[in-house]
Amino acid sequence: MALQNFLADYNSLWMFVIVFAIVYFGLLKLGLQGSKIVLAIISLLISFVVISSVSTTNYLVGILPFIILLMVLGFLIVLVLMFVTKDAAAIEKLKGPLGVALFIIAIIICITLAFNYFSHLNNILPNSSNSGLSSGLVQFKDLIYSDNFIEFFLFIVVSGTVFFFLVKK
């Protein structure tokens, strides 16, 4: 119980550290030119912006257990695959699709929890009222749910899929 209170009391600090680490190592992984101090300062600023919003911090606190669960699940699947198959090449082939599947599940969880934590997003859904939306968001909502936009989006997805399979070696 004391551990739960300790973690709950310092949610903002934990989120600051986690966001800082993710942004900093993400910038390092991107290989941006510049010193590590500049990347650390950029990460520090982004972390301050993220924790300055209470709703964003609550969203991150709510989403973190699901992301950790997905990471552990992915690790366990790879671990089981290592024991089941002795061929390292077969495991390497499965890591890509497994990573993509877990990433898609993580995106779905993020979007679902966003509608839960940011209740004003519910007005963007189809067949909902426009009462809490500005005029720009009402126009954006009308554009997204128009037949022309849906047909264009479907065309882009199908074209991208066909292009992917044609270019794939």
Residue 83 · residue 92 · CB < 8 Å: no
Say what the pLDDT of residue 134 is. 78
- Under the banding of pLDDT at 50, 70 and 90, the label for residue 169 is low
Residues 102 and 138 in one domain: no
In a domain, 58, yes or no: no
Residue 27 CA neighbour count, 13 Å, CB half: 19
Give pairs for 148-154: CB < 8 Å, separation 24+: none
pLDDT band at residue 166, thresholds of 50, 70 and 90? confident
- 107 & 130 share domain: no
The pLDDT tens digits of the residues spanning 5-38 come to: 766 677 778 888 888 999 999 889 888 777 889 8
- The residue-averaged pLDDT of 75-102 equals 78
Last residue of a domain, one of 84, 100, 117: 117
Same domain, 44 and 79: no
Domain that holds residue 137: 122-169
Indicate if 93 and 135 belong to the same structural domain. no
Q: What is the DSSP string of 6-75?
A: HHHHTHHHHHHHHHHHHHHHHHHHHT-SS-HHHHHHHHHHHHHHHHT-HHHHHHHHHHHHHHHHHHHHHH
Q: Tell me, yes or no, if the pTM score tops 0.75.
A: no
Q: Does residue 163 belong to any structural domain of this protein?
A: yes
* Domain shared by 38 and 13, yes or no: yes
Judgement on whether residues 92 and 69 belong to the same structural domain of the protein? yes
Is 57 a member of any domain?
no
pLDDT of residue 4: 65
Say yes or no: 71 and 93 in one domain. Answer: yes
Q: What is the mean pLDDT of the chain?
A: 82
Contacts of 32 (CB under 8 A, 6+ apart): 39
**Domain count for the chain:** 3
Average pLDDT over residues 139-154: 84
- Judged against a pLDDT cut of 80, whether residue 93 lies above it is answered with no
> Given this model, what pLDDT does residue 159 score?
92
Residue 126 burial (CB < 10 Å; 0-12/13-18/19+)? exposed
Reduce the DSSP state of residue 3 to 3 states and report it. Answer: helix
Say whether both 155 and 140 belong to one domain: yes
Indicate if 96 and 112 belong to the same structural domain.
Answer: yes
